[in-house]
Amino acid sequence: MTTAPVRVVIADDHPMFRFGLTAVLNAAPEVEVVGEAEDGTDLVALVARLTPDVVVTDLAMPGLGGAAAAAEIAREHPSIPVLVLTMHEEDEALFGALRVGVRGYLLKGAAGDELVRAILSVAAGGSVFSGAVGQRIVGFFTANKDEYVAQVFSQLTVREREILELVSQGLGNHEIARRLFLSEKTVRNNLAVILTKLEVPTRAAAVAKARDAGLGHG
């Protein structure tokens, strides 16, 4: 049984780039370009008319930009993933696109086969970021880890977050007490409060919740 190709709509304000991109994608049997737009307004209208499987868009376009168009598509067609293909790699562009829910972010230097794989991945529900972009995202969250943890676990005190971090790393009460210059009884009492605030029944459940938020990895 032959699988139908992934139907793609592309948006870029440079006609020659759209021409080359369409040629590259249509050369792959797994992908079919079904529409082209030259700005965000055209893109939103095209998506509404064609309901493609994936949208591939630049960010900087006249009128309605790619990020604004992606936000509108996310509101009107939440099941259609948007993949950004752009030359802009500064933090403002990257994190602005992430905030509106794009599922991938590639730079225009990406090879054709990398782009095809990215389209297939986001069509299947995945997220794709080029190597340099992925490193920037990891670096951002690493640099802002304390602020991020404080937001996610805002119901915990600073001390309770410290203890949760060490618990999620697999440390026992004795080692936690030694590291934080506390008594084991104080650690146990704090853990009881943490379980109550996180609304979980066991230490293991607290660890699972912490690791879901990115704690416990060093």
Question: pLDDT tens digits for 92-106?
Answer: 777 778 878 888 888
End-to-end CA distance of the chain: give it in Å, rounded.
47
pLDDT for the residue numbered 69: 92
Residue 189: enclosing H or E segment and its boundaries? Answer: helix 184-198
What CA dihedral angle connects 129, 135, 137 and 141, to 10 degrees? 150
**E-strand spans in 47-135?**
54-57, 82-86, 104-107, 128-129
pLDDT for the residue numbered 216: 65
Helix, strand and coil content of the chain, in percent to the nearest 5, comes to 55, 15, 30
pTM of the model: 0.63
pLDDT for the residue numbered 32: 95
Taking only the tens of pLDDT, the chain with its 218 residues reads: 558 899 999 999 999 999 999 999 999 999 999 999 999 999 999 999 999 999 999 988 888 888 889 999 999 999 999 999 988 777 677 777 887 888 888 888 888 899 999 999 999 998 888 766 666 665 565 555 666 666 778 898 989 988 998 998 889 999 999 999 999 999 999 999 999 999 899 999 888 888 777 676 54
Contacts of 57 (CB under 8 A, 6+ apart): 10, 11, 12, 37, 40, 43, 66, 69, 70, 82, 83, 84, 85
Question: pLDDT tens across 99-149, in order?
Answer: 788 888 888 888 889 999 999 999 999 888 876 666 666 556 555 566 666
| H runs (alpha helix) in 32-111 | 40-50, 66-76, 91-99
For residue 17 the two structure tokens come to 């780039």
| Cα–Cα distance measured from residue 156 to residue 198, given in angstroms and rounded to the nearest whole number | 9
Residue 31: enclosing H or E segment and its boundaries? Answer: strand 31-37
Using DSSP, state whether 55 is helix, strand or coil.
strand
Of 123, 104, 100, the C-alpha closest to 44 is: 100
pLDDT for the residue numbered 36: 96
